[in-house]
Amino acid sequence: MKTVKKRKFKKKALFMLLILFVIIFLTVFYVFNFHITNVYISGNTIYTDQEIIDMAKLSNYPRTLNNNELIIKKRLEKSKYIKRAKIRKKNFLRSVYINIIENRPILIYKNQTILFDKTPSDEKFNVPILINDIDNEDIFNKLINCLAKIDKDILERISEIKYDPNDVDKQKFLLYMSDGNNVYITLRKIERMNNYVEIISTFQGKKGTLYLDSGEYFELFGG
C-alpha cells in the first residue's frame, strides 16, 4: 500500500510540473509576441511626434521585448537635438511613454545655430542673432546658459542681441525685440525677461527702450 501511494504521488507531481511548464512556456511565448500598440510623447518642440516615433523605430508597432527602454533611449539620444530621453513602459509593456529633454537651439552666431551644450549646427531656427563678437569665452558660455532660462516664446521675440558692456557691467546686453522695442539687460537679471510681455503691456503700444539692467523704466524713442 505504501508503494502504491508513492507512485501516485510521483505521477501527480509530474503532472503538476508538466502543467507548470506549459503555463510558463505559453506565458513567455505570449509576452515575447507582445507588440507595442501605443506611443505617448511629451517635451518635444524641435521634432514632431511622428519624427520621434520614426527615430525610435516604433512606427511599425514592433515587438516590445525587442525594443526595451534602453534601446529606444539610445536611438533617440543619437540626435544632437535631444539631450536626454526618458522611456517608460506600461500596460503589459505595450504602451511606451517618451519624455524628451531637448538640447535647445539658443542663438545664431557667425551664421551657425548654437545649441544649449554649445554645439554648432548649420540648421536655422527662430532664435536671436548675436550681431557682434564676444571675446570672453566665459561670458559667451554664460550668455548661452542664461538665455536657456528664458521661456521659448519670449526667446523667439528677440530678433538680435548686441554685447554692450561698459566699465561698470561686463555682462550687459542690448536686445532688439521683434515688436520694435529695445531692452537693456544684464545676465544677472536675465530671468526678468520672462515678464517682458506683462511689463511692456503697461506702456500701451508705445515704442522705446526698456531698462531691466538697473531698475525697470521705459524710455520712449525720441523722448
Query: What is the chain's pLDDT, residue by residue, as a tens digit (223 residues)?
Result: 445 555 555 677 777 777 777 677 666 656 566 889 999 999 999 999 999 999 999 999 998 888 999 999 999 999 999 999 999 999 878 899 999 999 999 999 999 999 999 999 999 999 999 999 999 999 999 999 999 999 999 999 999 999 999 999 999 999 999 999 999 999 999 999 999 999 999 988 899 999 999 888 899 997 6
Contact 159, 185 (CB under 8 A): no
Three-state SS at 28: helix
Instruction: Count the alpha carbons within 13 Å of 191 in the hemisphere toward its beta carbon.
Output: 3
Strand partners, 130: 109, 161
How are beta strands 129-130 and 105-109 bridged, if at all? parallel
What is the signed CA dihedral for 167, 168, 170, 175, rounded to 10 degrees?
-110
Residue 215: the pLDDT is 81
CA dihedral 95, 53, 35, 87 (to 10 degrees): -40
Q: What is the pLDDT of residue 21?
A: 74
Vertex 17 angle, CA 12 and 22, to 5°: 125
Q: Which domains can be identified in the chain, with CATH numbers?
A: 38-102 (3.10.20.310), 105-220 (3.40.50.10960)
- State residue 51 phi and psi, 5-degree precision: -65, -40
